Amino acid sequence: MKISTVQFNPILFDKEFNINKMLNLIENVKSDIIVFPELSTTGYFFLHKEEMHRYSDSFDSETIKIFQRISTDRNQIIVFGFLEEAKEHFYNSAAILFPQAKYSQVYRKTHLFYKEKFVFTPGDTGFININYPDWDLNIGTLICYDWRFPEAARTLALEGADIVVVPSNLVTKIWHRSMPARALDNHIYLAVANRIGTESRRDEELYFNGMSVIYDFNGEVLDLATPTEETIVTAEFDPREARDKSINAMNDIFTDRVPKYYFLG
C-alpha cells in the first residue's frame, strides 16, 4: 500500500485557490492514501470568529463532497484539514474520506495550539481509529499539536491503528524529535503532512517548517521533504507489519503494559 503526504503553501482567506491547488497537486498521484496539511482549504491564522464563517464548511458541504467524489472515483483515501462549522462552533477538523463513503468521518482537533484557543472549540470527537475492511487497514488521525500528547497516539494504537496520519501546520523546531517516537512507542507507521510558507496577522508572523515525513514502526524515515518546497512525500507500507507488537520471544510492548500503574490525571 502506498501513502503520500502533500506539502504546499495554503493562502489565508483564499479557499478557491487552495482547493484548486489541492486538486491540481493530486491529479496524477496514484497512492492509496493522500494526506494534506491542517486547515488546507483556508490557511491557518484566524484571529476572530467573525472572519471564519465565510470560509467554514460543514461535513456535508460541497467542499467535502468534491474530495469525497475523488476518493470514490479514484479509489483513494483522502485526509485533509478544514475549518469546520457545526452547531455554531468552529472546529479545527480533518475530513477522513474513504472510497466507500459510509466509512468517512470527521476528526476534530483535541489539543488547540496558541491563538487557536481564541477561535476554535476543542474537539469533541475523541481519537478515532477507522477500520476500512475493503483494504484491511486501520487508520487513525491526529492534528498537529496533538503530537505533544503521547496519550493521543497511544489511544489510537490501542484502538488498533496501523498508521496514524497527522495533518499539520507545525511551527516549532522540536517536533522532529518526538514524532518518530510516537511511531516507535506504538509500533505503528506515522505520516506527517506539514505545510510550508508564512502567515502574518497584525505584527506577528508564523513560519511553517515543512519537512513532511513518513516513518515506519521503528521511527525510521521512509521519505522526507525539505522545509520550503511544494512537494509530495511517498512511501510504501504494509499495515499488517504494524500489528505484531512483540519485540523478541519474551516481550510484547502491548501485552507487557501495566496500566494499573499508569497515571492519566
Count of residues making up the chain: 265
* CB of 60 closer than 8 Å to CB of 47: no
Which residue among 38, 85, 116, 199 is the active-site one?
38
Residues binding ligand ACM: number (CB under 6 A): 7
Q: Which is nearer to ligand ACM, 108 or 187 (CB)?
A: 108
Q: How far apart are CA 169 and CA 243, in angstroms?
A: 29
Region 7-36 residues binding ligand ACM, contact defined as CB under 6 A: none
Q: Which is nearer to ligand ACM, 141 or 169 (CB)?
A: 169
Letter string b/e over residues 87-97, b meaning 16 or more CB atoms within 10 A of that residue's CB = eeebbbbbbbb
| 144 classed as catalytic | yes
| 38 classed as catalytic | yes
- Asked if 38 is part of the footprint of ligand ACM (rule: CB under 6 A), the reply reads yes
Q: What is the DSSP string of 201-248?
A: ETTEEEEEE---EEE-TTS-EEEE--SS--EEEEEE--GGGGT--BSS
What share of residues in the chain are helix, strand, coil (percent, to 5)?
30, 30, 40
User: With left for phi above 0 and alpha for psi between -120 and 50, is residue 136 left, alpha or beta?
Assistant: left
Region 44-73 residues binding ligand ACM, contact defined as CB under 6 A: none
Question: Binding marks (x or -) toward ligand ACM, 97..126, rule CB under 6 A?
Answer: ----------------x-------------
> Of 145, 189, 215, 237, which lies in the binding site for ligand ACM, with binding defined by CB under 6 A?
145
Report the DSSP pairing between strands 137-141 and 163-168. parallel
Q: Which is nearer to ligand ACM, 137 or 190 (CB)?
A: 190
- Asked if 127 is part of the footprint of ligand ACM (rule: CB under 6 A), the reply reads no
Q: Which is nearer to ligand ACM, 70 or 170 (CB)?
A: 170
Q: Which is nearer to ligand ACM, 146 or 162 (CB)?
A: 146
**Helix 15-25 × helix 62-74 angle, to 10°:** 0
Q: Which is nearer to ligand ACM, 150 or 257 (CB)?
A: 150
Of 245, 242, 210, 247, the residue nearest 226 (C-alpha): 210
Q: How far apart are CA 254 and CA 246, in angstroms?
A: 8
Least separation in angstroms between CB 178 and ligand ACM:
13
Which residue among 15, 21, 144, 199 is the active-site one?
144
Q: What are phi and psi of 149, to 5 degrees?
A: -115, 95
Least separation in angstroms between CB 144 and ligand ACM:
3
Question: Binding marks (x or -) toward ligand ACM, 149..188, rule CB under 6 A?
Answer: --------------------xxx-----------------
Count of alpha carbons within 13 angstroms of residue 224, beta-carbon side: 13
- Asked if 216 is part of the footprint of ligand ACM (rule: CB under 6 A), the reply reads no
Residues near ligand ACM, by CB under 6 A: 38, 113, 144-145, 169-171
Please list the active-site residues.
38, 109, 144
